[in-house]
């Protein structure tokens, strides 16, 4: 019945996407501002145009960005810059996007990123979980039906790309393939807020070779950026990022609508203080991730590793200083890691499957695609709209931590019993 419900919901959403695609198909010709409800994809297109223009060494100039922004919005004009704060190498990667006309590029971006995210998830579940096609299909279908995933597709956010990067990083990290994991760790700096959290997982597991490969790949990206957009943009990027996140001179950050701790803090603190406070609160998250991967290193067990990855993802979603609703796309990873049964059946079937924390964990993840739409219908004029998503993630973190604790104890009991029997 749940599968049928998800299929119906996905059909309705696909019809909506086809309706929105009329412009691309040439049925309607509308200006950009009428076609795009939110400017998320427009920002990526702007980045590509800036790199391909003669002003490529001034990609972080508010005046240059506003000029390109208004050209895309014409005949409407904006008074304030919707500032692009991506890392320099991401600007370079986005350059080919602006080769196409805006309408075509928008659809290519939407479908290619969704395809990339789904493909990475399928590879992850096939190799890591040895999941059956039916299990993979249900996970993907449920993901496509949730509000965060659908918002990411419709507004053209890069959330599906981030899901692909996370999936491949953790897959190669667990398979102990340092060069590949290092490459995906370096690419994850597309969203700099994730890099420190993911690097902590590698450092805790004593994966120094992986970190070295990540640093090498990152150096290559920085050299590429210097060659294309100039070394000034690379060296000044950290200060540019901090200013863009805290100033009222630009639009596009919206900290009060974030679903992490920064969103909560922004409800009663001024932007700069909220950012500093949320960044400080990342320290306990880094410590928690470090401890989690120490548990993984000690246990040397696939089920324990899966729960550690799942909780690491949740810590990223809660404590990252820049997180929005569409970033909850990453919840597909905890679902894939903990709801799909590992063959042969492991300890979780007896140790945690019937415990209250696991039932809460499982229930939230199963109903989340439908629950997310309910949460989204709350008053859009209030910042409290975002808080329920934070509460859901906190409940998952608490219940998941209890599940991991129970599992580790069960594994330790099995080891003790095995030693005694010998």
What's the pLDDT tens digit per position in 145-204?
A: 899 998 898 888 999 999 999 999 999 999 999 999 999 999 999 988 888 899 999 999
Token representation of residue 273: 């203080």
**Beta-strand (E) ranges in 156-290?**
none
- Chain-centroid distance of CA 188 in Å reads 9
Distance in angstroms between the alpha carbons of the first and the last residue of the chain: 48
**Residue 224 in this model has a pLDDT that exceeds 50:** yes
Taking 50 as the threshold, does the pLDDT of residue 348 lie above it? no
- In this prediction, residue 40 carries a pLDDT of 82
Looking at residue 209, what is its pLDDT? 94
Q: Which value, to the nearest 10 degrees, does the dihedral of the CA atoms of residues 213, 219, 224, 229 take?
A: 150
3-state secondary structure at position 250: coil
CA dihedral 109, 57, 162, 42 (to 10 degrees): -40
Distance in angstroms (rounded) separating the CA atoms of residues 297 and 201: 11
Q: What's residue 37's pLDDT? A: 43
Whole-angstrom CA distances from 365 to 45, 179, 187, 262, 325 are 34, 32, 28, 23, 15
Check whether 334 has a pLDDT greater than 50.
Answer: yes
Q: Nearest Cα to 104, choosing from 16, 13, 25, 46?
A: 25
Percent of the chain with pLDDT over 70: 82
Q: Confidence band (pLDDT; 50, 70, 90) for 264?
A: confident
Angle between helix 133-145 and helix 2-20 axes, rounded to 10 deg: 50
- Confidence label for 125 from pLDDT (cuts 50, 70 and 90): very high
- Rounded CA-CA distance 365/369 in Å is 8
DSSP letter for 346, please. Answer: -
Whose tokens are 């929105």? That residue is 20
Those residues whose C-beta lies under 8 Å from the C-beta of residue 372, and which sit 6 or more positions away, are 146, 147, 148, 328, 389
- For residue 293, pLDDT over 90 is answered with yes
pLDDT confidence bin for 291, thresholds 50/70/90: very high
Bridge partners (DSSP) listed for residue 251: 82
Produce one character per residue of 107-126: b if its CB has 16 or more CB atoms within 10 Å, e if not: bebbeebbeebbebbbebbe
**pLDDT top residue among 418 and 5:** 5
Q: Which residues of 9-22 are buried (b: 16+ CB within 10 A; e: fewer)?
A: bbeebeeeeeebee
**Higher-scoring residue by pLDDT: 327, 244:** 327
In whole angstroms, what is the distance from residue 186 CA to residue 180 CA? 10
Return d(Cα 163, Cα 248) in angstroms, integer. 30
Q: State the chain's mean pLDDT as an integer.
A: 83
Q: Say how far apart CA 369 and CA 167 lie, in whole Å.
A: 20
């Amino acid at each position: 019945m749940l599968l049928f419900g998800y299929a119906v919901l996905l059909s309705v959403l696909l019809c909506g996407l086809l309706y929105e695609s009329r412009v691309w198909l040439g049925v309607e010709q509308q200006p950009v501002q009428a076609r795009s409800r939110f400017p998320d994809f427009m920002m990526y297109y702007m980045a590509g145009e800036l790199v391909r223009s003669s002003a490529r060494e001034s990609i972080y100039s508010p005046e240059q960005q506003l000029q390109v922004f208004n050209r895309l919005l014409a005949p409407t004009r904006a008074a304030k810059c919707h500032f692009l704060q991506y890392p320099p190498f991401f600007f370079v990667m986005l350059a080919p996007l602006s080769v196409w006309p805006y309408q075509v590029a928008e659809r290519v971006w939407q479908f290619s990123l969704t395809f990339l995210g789904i493909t990475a998830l399928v590879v992850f579940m096939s190799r890591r979980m040895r999941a059956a096609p039916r299990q993979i299909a249900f996970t993907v279908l449920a993901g496509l039906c949730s509000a965060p995933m659908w918002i990411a597709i419709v507004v053209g956010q890069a959330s599906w790309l981030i899901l692909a990067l996370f999936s491949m990083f953790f897959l190669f990290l667990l398979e102990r393939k340092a060069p590949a994991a290092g490459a995906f760790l370096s690419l994850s700096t597309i969203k700099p807020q994730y890099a420190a959290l993911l690097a902590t997982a590698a450092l805790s597991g004593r994966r120094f070779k992986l970190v070295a490969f990540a640093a090498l790949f990152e150096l290559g990206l920085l050299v590429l950026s210097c060659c294309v957009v100039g070394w000034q943009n690379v060296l000044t990027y950290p200060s540019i990022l901090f200013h863009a996140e805290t100033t009222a001179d630009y639009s596009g950050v919206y900290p009060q609508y974030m679903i992490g701790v920064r969103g909560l803090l922004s409800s009663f603190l001024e932007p700069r203080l909220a950012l500093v406070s949320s960044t400080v609160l990342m320290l306990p998250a880094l410590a928690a991730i470090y401890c989690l991967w120490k548990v993984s290193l000690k246990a040397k067990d696939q089920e324990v590793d899966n729960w550690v990855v799942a909780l690491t993802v949740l810590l990223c979603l809660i404590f990252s200083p820049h997180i929005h609703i569409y970033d909850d796309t990453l919840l597909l990873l905890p679902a894939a890691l903990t709801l799909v049964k590992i063959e042969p059946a492991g300890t979780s079937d007896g140790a945690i499957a019937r415990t209250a924390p696991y039932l809460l964990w499982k229930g939230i993840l199963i109903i989340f695609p439908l629950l997310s739409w309910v949460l989204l219908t709350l008053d859009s004029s209030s910042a409290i709209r975002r808080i329920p998503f934070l509460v859901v993630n906190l409940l998952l973190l608490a219940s998941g931590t209890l599940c991991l604790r129970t599992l580790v104890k069960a594994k330790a009991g099995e080891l003790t019993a095995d030693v005694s029997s010998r």
